[in-house]
């Protein structure tokens, strides 16, 4: 039986509640998650994450974690780099006005800029072993000044959110179309501030990065004799959920 059986979509989404199709399976305890998936010879990865909002990593010791029985590998940034195309997270929407080299590190080895930034990765034969290994990793931090507000971050004397960043302003750009100057010149009333306000306008954006609510997980298994991987992943984005096959180069 499909969860869509018996569900009729409204002719228009205006002024109507959208029917929820996922509730029946969840309420009956029939929801299926990545943690329910068991594959042959499965390995589990867990990440050591920063407990500081901003700090320099003075020392990172992985030896005790590597020696724990059941641990297959422990990676820091230098150890993982040969398997990567680059040390930073890729930028999904490249922009010519964005600061260069501003995306987060895959694994940070010198500095952490938010609570939860990944520092090391453990690969083990069970999730429990991977988490036990994380507890054996030793990290010495040197706390750095913290910026906790966007308005504070753009003050002239604000500490940098990352010491390697050129500025706390990630990007500057102008938005407009047509002859903006002529539109203001011909307008019956024009003000340098919207509605005659004395303060500059501010626009708040919903958090879209570094958000624990936007977690993702995945599992990969080799398929057949060809260098091909079958990927299963869980994501809050319905466009990216499900299973796919990836051919390795």
Q: For position 231, what pLDDT does the model report?
A: 66
Query: Judging by beta carbons within 10 Å of its beta carbon (0-12, 13-18, 19+), is residue 8 exposed, middle or buried?
Result: exposed
DSSP structure string for 45-112 = EEEEE-SSSSEEEEEEE-HHHHTSTTEEEEE-HHHHGGGSS-SBPPPSS--TTBPTT-SPBSS-SSEE
The residues with which 75 forms a beta bridge, in sequence order, are 121
**Residue 244: per-residue pLDDT:** 39
Structure tokens at 211: 């958000």
103 close to 91: Cβ distance less than 8 angstroms: yes
Q: How confident is the model at residue 241, as a pLDDT?
A: 39
pLDDT at position 245, please?
A: 35
Q: What pLDDT is stored for residue 139 in this prediction?
A: 97
The predicted structure's pLDDT at residue 11: 59
Exposure string of 223-238, with b = 16+ CB inside 10 Å and e = fewer, is: eeeeeeeeebebeeee
3-state SS, residue 171: strand
Query: Quick one: 153 exposed, middle or buried, by C-beta within 10 A (0-12, 13-18, 19+)?
Result: middle
Tokens encoding 87: 């040390």
Low-confidence ranges of the chain (pLDDT < 70): 1-13, 191-216, 223-249
Asked whether 79 and 66 are in contact (CB, 8 A), the reply is: no
Give the residue from 233, 234, 209 showing the smallest Cα distance to 221. 233
Cα–Cα–Cα angle for 118, 122, 123, rounded to 5 degrees: 135
Domains contained in the chain, CATH given: 39-186 (3.90.1170.50), 218-249 (no CATH)
147 near 162, Cβ under 8 Å? no
pTM of the model: 0.71
Q: According to the model, what pLDDT value does residue 124 have?
A: 96
Residue with tokens 């987060």: 104
Q: Which two tokens stand for residue 43?
A: 């390995």
Going through the chain in order, the beta strands assigned E by DSSP cover 44-49, 55-61, 71-75, 111-112, 118-124, 138-143, 217-222, 228-234, 242-247
């Amino acid at each position: 039986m499909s969860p869509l059986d018996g569900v009729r979509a409204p002719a228009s989404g205006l002024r109507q509640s959208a029917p929820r199709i996922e509730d029946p399976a969840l309420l009956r305890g029939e929801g299926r998650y990545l943690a329910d998936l068991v594959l042959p010879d499965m390995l589990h990865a867990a990440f050591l994450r920063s407990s500081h909002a901003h700090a320099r990593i003075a020392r990172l010791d992985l030896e005790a974690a590597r020696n724990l029985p059941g641990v297959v590998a422990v990676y820091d940034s230098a150890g993982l780099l040969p398997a990567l195309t680059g040390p930073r997270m890729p930028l999904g929407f490249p922009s010519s006005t964005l600061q260069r080299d501003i995306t987060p590190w895959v694994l940070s080895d010198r500095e952490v800029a938010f609570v939860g930034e990944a520092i090391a990765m453990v690969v083990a034969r069970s999730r429990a072993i991977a988490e036990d290994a994380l507890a054996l990793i030793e990290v010495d931090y040197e706390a750095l000044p913290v910026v906790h507000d966007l308005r504070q971050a753009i003050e002239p004397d604000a500490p940098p959110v990352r010491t390697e960043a050129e500025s706390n302003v990630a990007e500057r750009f102008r938005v407009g179309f047509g002859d903006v100057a002529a539109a203001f010149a011909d307008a019956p009333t024009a003000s340098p501030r919207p509605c005659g306000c004395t303060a500059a306008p501010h626009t708040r954006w919903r958090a879209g990065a570094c958000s624990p609510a936007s977690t993702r997980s995945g599992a990969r298994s080799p398929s057949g004799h060809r260098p091909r991987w079958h990927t299963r992943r869980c994501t809050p984005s319905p466009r990216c959920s499900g299973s796919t096959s990836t051919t390795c180069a």
